[in-house]
Homo-oligomer: A and B are copies of this chain.
Amino acid sequence: MTVPDGCNLLRNIKLKISYDGTNFSGWQRQSLSNGSRTVQNEIERALEKIHKKSIPLIGSGRTDAGVHAVGQVANFHTDILSIPAENFVPALNSILPPDIRILESSEVHSGFHSRFDARERTYRYFIHSLSAIPAHEFPYCWPLFRRLDIHRLNDMASVLSGEMDCSVFAAAGDKSLSRSRFFYGAHFFPEGSKLVFEISANAFLWKMVRSILGTIIDFEKSGKGRDDFLALINSGERHKAGQTAPAKGLFLWNVRY
């Protein structure tokens, strides 16, 4: 769908997208016949309504079933000239279901590609370690019901820096050509009564953030630390990693270009 630079027949529109993943089978388009609701399907259906024809949407990457987003990025090519770029926000939001909200839209150069041009993806994971979680926050966090040692957690998180082989965090069925990823950083910080895990990398394997977090949380509980975590990564032995944290605590937070 990319057009050569200088070709002005099509405008290229970049969207910043938020969604509540609770009732979605993830981002990725699926055959409508199987009945699953996906974010890409819903937005492409809204674009089709505006354009009276099928318009493919290019996302920065997939998010899994149940994962939320406040900073997903996607782009599409359009030959509609009458809608100012920023007006795709209200135009799409008026058609989309309330669990998808377009936050920004802007015109970008014709060669811009949401996936190939993305340099850094940032995720945030929200943990509640208290027993008392307000009901309206329950769908967006992992309730752990125990006190966590944030110093020990950050000691393990600090290992995730630079280029690393991430085979140990690959989900069964992962088909990636390379499992090497470049980490910009990972850390835990408190936010009100929540604990937030933020992690940034050039890209992530399927379910990788949830596998990293679940492992760090399991290691903290069993008294393991930084050296054990590093040894695990170097071993590449998937069965030694910890649980996969629940999807509902995870947000795709930002994509940098």
Q: Which residues in A have some Cβ–Cβ distance to B below 8 Å?
A: 18-20, 68-70, 89-90, 93, 98-101, 103-104, 131-136, 138-140
Say whether chain A's binding surface is mostly helix, strand, loop, or mixed.
Answer: mixed
Report the bound CA distance from A92 to B93 in whole Å.
39
**Residues on B with beta carbons closer than 8 Å to the beta carbon of A103:** 132, 134
CB atoms of B139 and A98 under 8 A apart? yes
Q: Distance (Å) between the CB of A104 and the closest chain B CB?
A: 7
Report the bound CA distance from A133 to B16 in whole Å.
12
What are 7 A-B interface contacts by the 8 Å CB criterion? A20-B136, A98-B135, A98-B138, A100-B135, A101-B132, A101-B138, A103-B132
Closest 3 CB pairs of A and B: A103-B132, A20-B135, A18-B134
Report the bound CA distance from A60 to B63 in whole Å.
42
CB atoms of B99 and A138 under 8 A apart? yes
Give A96's nearest chain B residue, CB to CB.
B135
CB atoms of A136 and B18 under 8 A apart? yes
CB atoms of B104 and A135 under 8 A apart? no
Having A70-B136, A99-B135, one finds 19 other A-B pairs with CB under 8 Å, namely: A18-B133, A18-B134, A18-B135, A18-B136, A20-B135, A20-B136, A68-B135, A70-B135, A89-B131, A93-B131, A98-B139, A99-B138, A100-B135, A101-B133, A103-B132, A103-B134, A104-B132, A136-B139, A136-B140
Report the bound CA distance from A139 to B23 in whole Å.
14
Give A101's nearest chain B residue, CB to CB.
B135
Kindly name the residue among A18, A89, A134, A140 whose own CB sees the greatest number of chain B CB atoms within 10 A: A134
CB atoms of A89 and B135 under 8 A apart? no
CB atoms of B131 and A68 under 8 A apart? no
Q: Distance (Å) between the CB of A37 and the closest chain B CB?
A: 13
